Amino acid sequence: MLLAVEITMRHVWTVLLWLGLSAAACAVFFFAVWLGMFLILKDFLNLWRR
């Protein structure tokens, strides 16, 4: 019984770790995309203002 609980806990921790890592990767990806769009728009506005 204790062994099953230990294995289950380890499995839960692994799943949580994977979920956290994928969430962090998605956040970094979206931040990079947003930053790129922001920089492109800023350059575009600077060119347009001239």
Q: Which two tokens stand for residue 28?
A: 């970094």
Greater confidence (22 vs 9) lies with 22
Tokens 């499995």 locate to 11
* Highest mean predicted confidence (pLDDT) among 1-5, 6-10, 14-18: 14-18
Residue 49 pLDDT more than 90? Answer: no
Q: Which two tokens stand for residue 49?
A: 């203002």
Can you give the pLDDT at residue 4? 85
Q: pTM for this structure?
A: 0.57
